[in-house]
Amino acid sequence: MKKFILLGFVNLLFSFTYLQAQDIINPVSATTTLTAEFGTNLINTINGSGLDAFPSLTADHGMSVFGNSFVAINETGSIDFDLGGSYLVDGLAFWNQNFFGPVPGENGIQEVLISSSNDGVTYTPITGAPNIFAQTTCMSCPSEQFSFTEVMTSFIRFDVINNWGEPTYVGFSEVAFSGIEATVPVENVINPVSATTTLSAEFGSSLVNTINGSGLDAFPSLSASHGGANPGTAFYATNGTGTIDFDLGGSYLVDGLSFWNANATGPGQTGIQDVLIYSSEDGVTYSPISGATSVFTEAVSTSSMAQQFAFTEVTASFIRLEVISNYGSPDFVGFSEIAFSGVSTLGVTDYTLSDVISLYPNPAINIITINNKSKIELEGITIYDMNGRMVKHLDVKNNNLEQTIDLSDLVSGIYMVKIFNNQTYTVKRVIKN
């Protein structure tokens, strides 16, 4: 098993595990609405108890007996398999109830609906999954193997519709799945380690409130809600122009930010409006960031969501906000929280795709272009939403300089674009307007 781990995300690391052919996912547990019979246990169907090799997708299963299979009263019902983590699942191996039974094979599952879920609550049918399992009458039987459209999932559900004719019981022997273990970056958070400003603090507020998550309902986060702003959860200063410098605590490839403005519980109209955003590698020389926002939205409610922005990726150890204006208060200016997104440059030489792959425009409306300036051979591009659900996949298998992707069928929001070959990968963040 070959694991690539990308170092240096602050507060949230992630990895993709690239498994070799016959990549086996054995569920860690299983539950059912069916009523077990003969003292059988559903655990028998995921622990390899009847297989001649385990773990395996191709082993033979011996004669189904009470100690190595599961038998229930013949009825419709569901069986939920907990995979023990998040996986990109693309197939399954199934061993039906075999020779054992009043009539060999007739109590095996016949028609079935297979669905996936990320939370174990909401299930969606899997495109291309089998809807029927074969009747099995041998005494030592190989698996029945299926492939289907890859889904990101943590749970698989079988809705059992009927068996092969036996009037009393339904059952099966074993199941296993194939795929790639993948904890996809939902939020790649860089929280500054310190901040300084030329502005004069008011009300005893501290700039550290804007980087420590003190008002957020989740931390670290790029998308959490911020409660009512006050001197203990936000920063207020005398109204005027000035700079705020954020020390990221290391060198990062930064490609976006989340910003929570001062909201309605503080002095009115104090939120930052016009702003210039710069980056620096040494904390002395700053350069404007291409594509960075120049305006923050006024937060008018007592609880505010993050304003999220993407910009051209920069290498930076420091980010500067130059405050130009607020939303009208003659006395004060302030904001609640800020965080950045990106990856540490530590170990980035091990991930050459990060250096040679770029994505534009960002934000995008309907089309994005992947630029592969070194023409490294690629294999695929997969896009995930912020819930980690795969929403689009392209088999690339070329070294073209540019690859366009149509996003017109996706709703507005933030997506993670994973670009990969058989050795490595990179992940880019894109905003679809």
Measure Cα distances from 365 to 97, 256, 307, 402, 414 in Å. Answer: 52, 17, 18, 18, 12
Which residues are CB-neighbours of 121 under 8 A, at least 6 positions away?
none
My answer on whether 364 and 223 are in the same domain is: no
Length of the chain measured in residues = 433
Which residues are CB-neighbours of 201 under 8 A, at least 6 positions away?
207, 235, 236, 237
**How many structural domains comprise the chain?**
3
Write out the DSSP string of 57-112.
SS-EE----TTTSEEEESS-EEEEEEEEEEEEEEEEEEEE--S-TTTTTTTBB-BE
My answer on whether 104 and 233 are in the same domain is: no
pLDDT value of residue 10: 32
Tell me whether the omega of the peptide bond preceding residue 104 falls within 30 degrees of 0, making it cis: no
My answer on whether 206 and 88 are in the same domain is: no
Report if residue 10 sits inside a domain: no
Candidates 171, 158, 154; CA nearest to 28 is 154
My answer on whether 162 and 48 are in the same domain is: yes
Cα 417 off chain centre by: 11
Q: How far is the C-alpha of 212 from the C-alpha of 205, rounded, in Å?
A: 13
Q: How far is the C-alpha of 240 from the C-alpha of 148, rounded, in Å?
A: 60
pLDDT value of residue 392: 86
pLDDT value of residue 204: 95
Which residues are CB-neighbours of 190 under 8 A, at least 6 positions away?
9, 10, 248, 252, 254, 339, 340, 341, 342
List, in sequence order, every beta strand (DSSP E) within 266-412: 275-280, 287-288, 304-305, 307-323, 332-344, 357-360, 367-372, 378-384, 390-398, 402-406
CA angle 11-16-404, nearest 5°?
A: 100
Tell me the pLDDT of the chain (433 aa) as tens digits.
333 223 332 333 333 333 333 489 999 999 999 999 999 999 999 999 999 999 999 999 999 999 999 999 988 999 999 998 878 888 999 999 998 766 788 999 999 999 999 888 889 999 999 999 999 989 899 999 999 988 878 899 999 999 999 899 999 999 999 987 654 444 578 999 999 999 999 999 999 999 999 999 989 888 899 999 999 999 999 988 999 999 999 888 898 999 999 998 877 799 999 999 999 999 999 999 998 999 999 998 888 889 999 888 899 999 999 999 999 999 999 999 999 998 776 544 434 576 678 888 988 899 999 988 767 788 888 888 766 677 888 888 777 778 899 999 999 888 888 888 777 777 788 888 8
Report if residue 237 sits inside a domain: yes
Report if residue 116 sits inside a domain: yes
Domain boundary among 286, 318, 344: 344
Domain boundary among 113, 146, 181: 181
44 SS3 class: helix
H or E, element range at 242: strand 242-261
23 SS3 class: coil
| Model pTM score | 0.50
43 SS3 class: helix
My answer on whether 423 and 281 are in the same domain is: no
Report if residue 352 sits inside a domain: no
Report if residue 236 sits inside a domain: yes
Q: How far is the C-alpha of 149 from the C-alpha of 175, rounded, in Å?
A: 18
CATH assignment at residue 399: 2.60.40.3080
Q: How far is the C-alpha of 59 from the C-alpha of 68, rounded, in Å?
A: 14
My answer on whether 139 and 200 are in the same domain is: no
Number of Cβ atoms within 10 Å of the Cβ of 194 = 12
My answer on whether 274 and 208 are in the same domain is: yes
Report if residue 231 sits inside a domain: yes
pLDDT value of residue 352: 59
Candidates 299, 301, 203, 201; CA nearest to 259 is 299
My answer on whether 338 and 221 are in the same domain is: yes
Q: How far is the C-alpha of 407 from the C-alpha of 204, rounded, in Å?
A: 47
Contact at 8 Å (CB) between 24 and 109? Answer: no
My answer on whether 288 and 395 are in the same domain is: no
My answer on whether 328 and 199 are in the same domain is: yes
My answer on whether 69 and 203 are in the same domain is: no
Domain carrying residue 157: 23-181
Which residues are CB-neighbours of 323 under 8 A, at least 6 positions away?
199, 241, 242, 243, 244, 272, 274, 275, 333
Which residues are CB-neighbours of 408 under 8 A, at least 6 positions away?
366, 367
Q: How far is the C-alpha of 380 from the C-alpha of 20, rounded, in Å?
A: 16
pLDDT value of residue 373: 74
Report if residue 268 sits inside a domain: yes
Candidates 361, 363, 416; CA nearest to 385 is 416
Domain boundary among 163, 181, 199: 181
CATH assignment at residue 308: 2.60.120.260
The runs of H, that is alpha helices, within 214-371 are 352-356
Candidates 171, 157, 178; CA nearest to 57 is 178
My answer on whether 212 and 336 are in the same domain is: yes
Report if residue 143 sits inside a domain: yes
pLDDT value of residue 15: 31
Tokens of 348: 């980035």
Query: Is the C-alpha dihedral spanning 15, 20, 21, 27 positive or negative?
Result: negative
